[in-house]
Amino acid sequence: MTGIMNPPVLFTFGLHAHQPDGNFGHVFEEHLRDVYEPFVRRAVEASLLPITLHLSGPLLDWLEVNAPGYLDLVGELAATGRVELLLAGYFEPILPSLLREDRLEQIQWMREFLRSRFGVEARGLWLTERVWEPDLASDLVDAGVEYVLVDDRHFVASGFQREVLHAPFRTEASGKSLGVFAIDERLRYLIPFHAPEETAAYLRELRERGSRLAVAADDIEKFGGWPGTREWVYDRGWLERFTRTIKDLEAAGEIRLSTFSSAMEELPSGGLAYLPSASYREMEEWSLPSEAHHRLSELKAILGEERFARGESPLIRGSHWRNFLVKYPEANRMHKKMLALSRLCRARGNAEAPRRALGRAQCNDAYWHGVFGGLYLRHIRETVWRNLAEAEGLLRRDEALGWEAEDLDMDGHSELWVHSSEFSALVSPRRGGAVEELTIFGAGINLANTLTRRREAYHEASGNGAGTDEVRGEGHHEGESEGNEEGSGGGSGPTDENLESAPSIHDLEEGLHFSELPPVDQEDRAILVERVLRGGTTGSDFRLGRFLPLRSWAREALEVRSVADVTPSDDGDVSYGQPGSSEGGHTARSSESLLEIRLSSVESGALEKTLRFRTDGSLEVRFRWDASAYPPDAVFTTELSLGGSAEIHATPDAEVWRFPISTFSKSERGFDETVQGEGVLVRWPVAEGASTLRLRLG
């Protein structure tokens, strides 16, 4: 049978629109102006309908306040069947990373919004970052989801040939069956970066093969929000050509625009598929450690990009999304704190206010890093910590000073979780008694919210280009929109008027270079990291990480000698209450009491470190060290990596070095230099043998 005799291909065209919670208002405004509104209105004018649309909760909330007319337009299209709306977790979380109850609740929030605002019952789900884990299927069914969109590579990684994926499939978990659509990677790269005629040729090819379904689904931001795409899509007429091309194909009976729900009802199932834990190709590569990323790049070069991209890619894979929580301990601390507070919230009645704050803290963008800032965007991380502070402050209202020993970050080593109605702190004995979190609820600030300077794979790849022009950081880059390959802001598009394609983000990446590699930290950052430095260590050496300490406790486990509530006297001495067990917990009963944690090492050059927390989160730290173990010109130091303003008082008087903690991360416009906080190094002559430091929010 020739292709001319085959029935039309059902062309499902899905768009995902998202802005992270806490992104700048002007980014929302620019995307509404440049992408969200013009695309939908032109699709309506050209009858490029029906299409499928997903709007994330943070974006819906902003539009409801700032552009309700746009939502009215979407609602009218949804009510008449010209737009099918998709579910997701309301605040755009990575669903597999949540507790099961939280997954269901996030989806229910989205269902309730779509029902109340637009009067529709959504059937399908946009899977955030297409992060799939097999047990998710049963939870989605329990949430009332009938089908989900994933990448075709999820199927190919299980051994499927791409040619057979042009049909709705089924998967199951715990005996619960769910529909699954495979997003066509070829269409994802063709639209909108190549001439519409290339898309038409591919759709005709599918029809000639007898395929009944073509699935295109991706970020709407690539239609005007990425660098150069506004000019390419609108000014140079790509969208006009695309809509005309699609309508011509439809008029000729070669394709038919369809919603996913209609396609699922009309087309026979492709059968049963069990999908592995997976995401899209780029995400799996980004989550690799730098060394492994280089090895994968070498393998790709041996295979050749075309063969790798089209054939072997899903079988020769990177890591999985959860590995970002290993790669970046800062992301893991946010994630595990969120999980702990979610359990606490449910144990205390799951009140709406703390639950919603936790929902906002589950927004995915700050938990990972790819082409765009993600974790590297300080304002996005600050938003997560502010939401966590709001939730915990509500949950701990009127609580006295207390603590627990708990492996909060789930790495096999217990931390001390200290908290009251005003603050929450995490002390890591394994890291020399460093304070990894110090959140003040009223201010909504985690003073330890900084970022360790790491060697990213793209730093070294860029450094290979000897003799290239240096790409400088452009300051704190405030214009990013986060998510799968998303971005915002300017950038120049193609200049050749005859060019038949636009550069994608991956094309733009190729031209980025460093003439000199940025500095990296020898040890992870936190508040109160102690070292003994050589007398000749300069401020520049320390700031650039070019020093060798005589001794560092940054990775040395200290023994917890005692944890007890103490009462200060007028002369500064303390009287002790009942000590708590280092394996349990304790709540101080007196409003005047402090919680004291005594830690020490027993090796040569031993350190004794005593932390005293007040109810308001202010902290006093007393150090005692063996001065005889070091040269007389050596310096005892404690480093505080601060994500907010703080008052610091040292006794005896100390020399204090301050410097910005700057990182260089890849974005769509080059390498961005972002100030992640302030490094403060407090220095005493090693001969002192003892010192005291007081810290409180500034």
Nearest to 40 by CA among 71, 68, 65, 64: 71
pLDDT in tens, 542-570: 999 999 999 999 999 999 999 998 887 54
pLDDT in tens, 507-526: 555 555 667 899 999 999 99
Structure tokens at 187: 């269409």
Tell me the average pLDDT across 62-78. Answer: 98
Residue 371 — very low, low, confident or very high, per pLDDT cuts 50/70/90? confident
> Biggest alpha carbon distance in the chain?
97
Tell the burial category of 520 from Cβ atoms under 10 Å away from its Cβ (0-12, 13-18, 19+).
middle
More confident residue, 4 or 208: 208
pLDDT at 305: 73
Q: In the 8-state DSSP scheme, what is residue 422?
A: S
- Which residue, 245, 279, 313, sits at the end of a domain? 279
Nearest to 439 by CA among 393, 403, 389: 389
Residue 505 — very low, low, confident or very high, per pLDDT cuts 50/70/90? low
Answer whether residue 64 is part of any domain. Answer: yes
User: Which CATH number does the domain housing residue 579 bear?
Assistant: 2.70.98.10
Q: CB neighbours of 672 closer than 8 A, spacing ≥ 6? A: 373, 376, 473, 474, 475, 476, 477, 664, 665, 666
Structure tokens at 364: 């995915």
Contact by Cβ (8 Å): 223, 53: no
Residue with tokens 């270079």: 513
pLDDT at 587: 56
Mean pLDDT of the chain: 90
Name the β-bridge partners of 609.
Answer: 599, 623
Name the β-bridge partners of 11.
Answer: 214, 257
Residue 316 — very low, low, confident or very high, per pLDDT cuts 50/70/90? confident
Answer whether residue 388 is part of any domain. Answer: no
pLDDT at 468: 32
Answer whether residue 285 is part of any domain. Answer: no
pLDDT at 252: 97
How far apart are the C-alpha atoms of 534 and 552, rounded to whole Å? 12
Residue with tokens 């280089």: 294
- Which residue, 225, 244, 279, sits at the end of a domain? 279
Three-class SS of 365-391: HHHCCCCCCHHHCHHHHHHHHHHHHHH
Domain that holds residue 564: 527-697
pLDDT at 277: 96
Residue 272 CB neighbour total at 10 angstroms:
11
Answer whether residue 652 is part of any domain. Answer: yes
Q: CB neighbours of 191 closer than 8 A, spacing ≥ 6? A: 199, 216, 218, 242
pLDDT at 141: 98
Name the β-bridge partners of 83.
Answer: 51
Asked if the model's pLDDT at residue 571 lies above 80, the reply is no
Of 331-340, 411-420, 464-473, 636-645, least confident by mean pLDDT is: 464-473
Q: Reduced to 3 states, what is the DSSP secondary structure of residue 281?
A: helix
Instruction: Name the pTM for this structure.
Output: 0.92
Contact by Cβ (8 Å): 136, 95: yes
Contact by Cβ (8 Å): 625, 690: yes
Residue 583 — very low, low, confident or very high, per pLDDT cuts 50/70/90? low
Structure tokens at 261: 């729900």
Residue 312 — very low, low, confident or very high, per pLDDT cuts 50/70/90? low
Share of the chain above pLDDT 90, in %: 79
Question: What is the secondary structure of 586-621 as a DSSP string?
Answer: EE---TT-EEEEEEE--STT-EEEEEEE-TTS-EEE
pLDDT at 35: 97
pLDDT at 448: 98
How far apart are the C-alpha atoms of 623 and 616, rounded to whole Å? 22
Nearest to 215 by CA among 302, 315, 130: 130
Contact by Cβ (8 Å): 458, 666: yes
- The single-letter code of the amino acid at 25 is G
pLDDT at 111: 98
pLDDT in tens, 275-288: 999 999 889 999 99
How far apart are the C-alpha atoms of 192 and 49, rounded to whole Å? 17
Structure tokens at 316: 């020769």
How far apart are the C-alpha atoms of 37 and 48, rounded to whole Å? 14
Contact by Cβ (8 Å): 375, 381: yes
Answer whether residue 469 is part of any domain. Answer: no
Answer whether residue 409 is part of any domain. Answer: no
pLDDT in tens, 644-677: 999 999 999 999 999 999 999 987 777 889 999 9
Pairing of strands 83-85, 51-55: parallel
Contact by Cβ (8 Å): 475, 672: yes
User: Which CATH number does the domain housing residue 218 bear?
Assistant: 3.20.110.20
- Which residue, 227, 244, 279, sits at the end of a domain? 279
Structure tokens at 461: 């790849």
pLDDT at 485: 35
pLDDT at 228: 86
How far apart are the C-alpha atoms of 636 and 81, rounded to whole Å? 70
Contact by Cβ (8 Å): 506, 551: no
The number of distinct structural domains making up the chain is 2
In order of 176, 213, 266, 335, the CA distances from 3 in angstroms are 37, 14, 20, 51
Exposed e or buried b for every residue in 144-183, given b needs 16+ CB within 10 A?
Answer: ebbbbbbbbbbbbbeebebeebbbbbebebeeeebbbbbb
Answer whether residue 578 is part of any domain. Answer: yes
Nearest to 639 by CA among 519, 537, 553, 520: 553
Answer whether residue 150 is part of any domain. Answer: yes
Catalytic residues, by residue number, are: 129, 219
